[in-house]
């Protein structure tokens, strides 16, 4: 059995990565359903960066568009 830890919220830096992450997540969900085994463990994500960071700002914006819980 293969066990993979994967986070849906891990690719918020860019909307393109977020879409790829969503597609990968859907594939893992299908594999889990078809195999009737637990192969996916979803975990919370902590992203941190300097105030004013462009990467933090774009990550927050992309996460907000996807409905992620964002706390400061």
Name the 3-class secondary structure at 62. Answer: helix
What's the mean pLDDT when you consider all of the chain? 75
Domain boundaries, the chain: 4-65
Which residues does residue 63 pair with via DSSP β-bridges, in sequence order?
none
Residue 57's alpha-carbon distances to 10, 12, 24, in angstroms, are 15, 10, 24
* Residue-wise pLDDT tens digits, 11-42: 566 667 777 888 888 999 999 999 999 988 88
pTM here is 0.58
- Tell me the two tokens of residue 71: 């706390």
Question: Is a pLDDT exceeding 90 seen at residue 52?
Answer: no
For residue 5, the model assigns a pLDDT of 42
Top-confidence range, 35-39, 55-59, 63-67:
35-39
Give the Cα separation of 1 and 33 in Å (integer): 14
């Amino acid at each position: 059995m293969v066990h993979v830890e994967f986070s849906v919220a891990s690719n918020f830096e860019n909307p393109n990565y977020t879409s790829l992450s969503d597609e990968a997540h859907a594939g893992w969900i299908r594999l889990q359903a078809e195999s009737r085994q637990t192969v996916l463990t979803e975990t919370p994500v902590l992203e941190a960066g300097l105030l004013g960071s462009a990467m933090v700002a774009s990550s927050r914006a992309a996460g907000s568009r996807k409905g992620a819980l964002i706390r400061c």
